[in-house]
């Protein structure tokens, strides 16, 4: 590839803070709250115009498998406060419970617009300074320390200095752009490499469904339509006739009583020579995913009673990249850790998500076959950069562990731990690597977060053991 040289220039230092959180998804929200509530001067930068990350930008508006005896902390607080305020969605079709992904399994669904506003207020309440439309594009690195991050905005570039930086970009963007070792980079043993990526996920909204009519149709066709994963026969036939452009062979419909339907089905597989973060891949993905949505909607409109007058109401601002980079941490959580090791002395939170992964050929795999396990603090600490932590989907995980720990609930929990750790580091003038883990664990426990499986009541663990035995499996899921 040809290269041009960008001239050096002076950057104004716009802010100088204790803790800089990059990314406003569940990881970033947890991190910013954790840092600010523990006394750190905290700034959060987000490249789009709202908080929530994938929960609001790409419509994954839920907290999966919430169990207050297992997680607690900010997840408990936020879900309860939203419920009291009317932001939690309760009219979830019962077929979602039957499919293993409903309120009975602890999934808390919320209104994405309510959540955006709620988070604005939550940040203001905690004293977190938020900057929207601020894209962190690089860093000023001195040896093993990030002195500042470079942020791109409508008014040009500026620098933000911080004592501790938390990468909550969902794709380890800051670690990668700072030249720190990351997982997902060619040359490191933990992949994923070109040709092994999981592709893009995507959800969209249809409006104008005649719910009554659709419910009657569902009742008439229970095996095909009154299911969490539905439409298999119609999709199969339409594909065979060349009447449908869709990667997957089914659809998940989350229809509300007001006629708004959350639709999960379009998916995009990458070419063997592509990485998901490449702009050409993202552009091709966007165009293809929209084409699938329009093709699927046409099929539903023409064949499924209730959809006759429906319309595509909203599509997301970006696809879910699934596997970007992740920091290369002091420990890489592995599938073996999740299934066999289970507990760690430096545990900072508990996760009950099993791996939920896609293969390069577009197939999906989910099986509730893992009982709760610890996430160690070392997964949050960069091996190379002294003042860099990560939270959410950017923490140090192998492929299978990533496929589980990336989820919204564990992302917010690792965020709470990273933010709290950062504040303690600032307070005691130590780097994240040197932080006394016991002090962190005590602080987290005092703020309601379970830090280890060892603290989870026996009956709760038993409940997950039963689920694992039944191995509740969702095959060929449309996500
Ligand atoms: C269609 C779909 C369905 C899903 N279903 C579920 C589900 O049912 N349950 C569940 O728990 N999870 C689900 N997920 C996955 C889940 O949403 C993510 O794994 C989770 O949001 C990861 O959290 P995060 O905070 O690490 O990253 P994200 O939510 O991705 O947030 C990262 C944020 O950082 C910002 N950002 C990135 N780079 C920069 C930068 N350089 N500078 C500034 N800002 C930056 C982004 O704009 C974004 O707001 C789903 C995702 C999608 C898209």
Domain assignment present for residue 199? The answer is no
Is residue 210 located within the same domain as residue 101?
no
Q: What is the Å distance from ligand 1's center to 237 Cα?
A: 34
Q: What is the Å distance from ligand 1's center to 4 Cα?
A: 33
Is residue 259 located within the same domain as residue 386?
no
Q: What is the Å distance from ligand 1's center to 19 Cα?
A: 21
Domain assignment present for residue 3? The answer is no
Is residue 63 located within the same domain as residue 180?
yes
First to last CA, the chain: 36
Pocket lined around ligand 1, Cβ cut-off 6 Å = 22-28, 45-48, 53-55, 57-58, 60, 62, 64, 135-136, 168-170, 173, 201-203, 264, 320, 392-394, 406-409, 411, 479
Is residue 134 located within the same domain as residue 238?
no
Q: What is the Å distance from ligand 1's center to 170 Cα?
A: 6
The DSSP 8-state label assigned to residue 105 in this structure reads G
The mean of the pLDDT values for the chain is 93
Q: What is the Å distance from ligand 1's center to 476 Cα?
A: 22
Tell me how far apart the alpha carbons of residues 67 and 453 are, in angstroms, rounded to a whole number: 13
Tell me how far apart the alpha carbons of residues 422 and 435 are, in angstroms, rounded to a whole number: 9
- DSSP letters along 440-468, please? HHHHHHHTTB---GGGS-HHHHHHHHHHH
Of 264, 287, 314, the position where a domain reaches its end is: 314
Nearest CA to ligand 1 atom 7: 60
- Does this model's pTM top 0.85? My answer is yes
- Percent of the chain past pLDDT 70, that is, above it, reads 96
The DSSP 8-state label assigned to residue 321 in this structure reads -
Q: What would the mean pLDDT of 151-176 be, rounded to a whole number?
A: 97
Is residue 360 located within the same domain as residue 295?
no
Residue of 23, 89, 319 best suited for mutating to test ligand 1, as the one with most atoms within 8 Å of CB:
23
What is the per-residue pLDDT across 393-413, written as a single tens digit (0 to 9) for each?
999 998 889 989 999 999 999
Q: What is the Å distance from ligand 1's center to 307 Cα?
A: 30
Q: How many domains does the chain have?
A: 2
Is residue 368 located within the same domain as residue 281?
no
Q: What is the Å distance from ligand 1's center to 410 Cα?
A: 12
What is the per-residue pLDDT across 304-317, written as a single tens digit (0 to 9) for each?
999 999 999 999 99
Domain assignment present for residue 6? The answer is no
Q: What would the mean pLDDT of 366-371 be, rounded to a whole number?
A: 83
Nearest CA to ligand 1 atom 35: 23
Segments of 143-294 assigned E as strands: 145-153, 156-167, 182-183, 200-207, 229-230, 251-255, 261-268
pLDDT at 478 over 50: no
Q: What's the chain's Rg over C-alpha atoms? A: 22
pLDDT at 472 over 60: no
Is residue 214 located within the same domain as residue 303?
yes
Nearest CA to ligand 1 atom 53: 320
Which residues form the domain of 334?
13-192+323-452
Q: Give the nearest ligand 1 atom to 57 CA.
A: 49
The DSSP 8-state label assigned to residue 341 in this structure reads I
What is the per-residue pLDDT across 299-349, written as a single tens digit (0 to 9) for each?
999 999 999 999 999 999 998 887 788 999 999 999 999 999 999 999 999
């Amino acid at each position: 590839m040809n290269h041009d040289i960008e001239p050096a220039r002076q950057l104004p230092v716009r802010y100088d803070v204790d803790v800089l959180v990059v990314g406003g998804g569940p990881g970033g929200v947890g991190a910013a709250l954790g840092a600010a509530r523990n006394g750190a001067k905290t700034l959060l930068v987000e490249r789009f115009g709202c908080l929530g990350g994938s929960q609001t930008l790409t419509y994954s508006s839920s907290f999966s498998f919430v169990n207050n005896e297992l997680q607690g902390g900010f997840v408990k607080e936020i879900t309860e406060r939203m419920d009291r305020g009317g932001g939690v969605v309760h009219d979830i079709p019962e077929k979602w419970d039957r499919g293993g992904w409903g309120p009975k399994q602890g999934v808390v669904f919320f209104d994405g617009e309510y959540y955006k506003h709620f988070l604005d207020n939550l940040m203001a309440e905690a004293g977190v300074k938020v900057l929207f439309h601020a894209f962190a594009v690089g860093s000023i690195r001195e040896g093993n320390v990030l002195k500042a991050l470079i942020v791109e905005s409508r008014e040009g570039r500026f620098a933000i200095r911080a004592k501790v930086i938390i990468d909550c970009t969902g794709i380890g963007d800051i670690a990668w752009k700072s030249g720190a070792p990351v997982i997902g980079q060619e040359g490191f043993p933990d992949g994923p490499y070109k040709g092994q990526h999981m592709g893009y996920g995507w959800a969209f909204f249809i409006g104008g469904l005649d719910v009554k009519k659709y419910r009657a149709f569902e009742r008439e066709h229970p095996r095909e339509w009154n299911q969490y994963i539905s439409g298999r026969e119609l999709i199969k036939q339409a594909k065979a006739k060349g009447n449908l452009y869709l990667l997957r062979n089914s659809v998940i419909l989350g229809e509300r009583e007001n006629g708004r339907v959350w639709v999960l089905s379009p998916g995009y597989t990458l070419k063997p020579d592509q990485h998901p973060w490449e702009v050409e891949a993202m552009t091709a993905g966007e165009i293809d995913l929209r084409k699938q949505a329009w093709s699927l909607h046409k099929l539903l409109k023409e064949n499924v009673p209730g959809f006759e007058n429906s319309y595509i109401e909203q599509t997301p601002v970006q696809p879910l990249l699934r596997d970007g980079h992740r920091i290369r941490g002091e420990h890489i959580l592995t599938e073996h850790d999740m299934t066999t090791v289970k507990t760690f002395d430096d545990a900072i939170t508990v996760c009950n998500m099993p791996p939920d992964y896609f293969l390069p050929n577009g197939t999906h795999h989910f099986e509730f076959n893992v009982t709760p396990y610890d996430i160690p603090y070392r997964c949050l600490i960069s091996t190379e950069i002294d003042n860099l932590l990560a939270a959410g989907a950017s923490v140090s995980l192998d492929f299978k562990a990533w496929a589980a720990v990336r989820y919204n609930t564990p992302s917010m929990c690792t965020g709470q731990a990273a933010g709290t750790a950062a504040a303690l580091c600032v307070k005691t003038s130590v780097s994240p690597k040197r932080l006394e883990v016991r002090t962190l664990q005590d602080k987290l426990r005092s703020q309601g977060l379970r830090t280890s499986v060892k603290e989870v009541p026996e009956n709760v663990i038993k409940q997950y053991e039963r689920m694992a035995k039944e191995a509740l499996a969702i095959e060929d899921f449309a996500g």
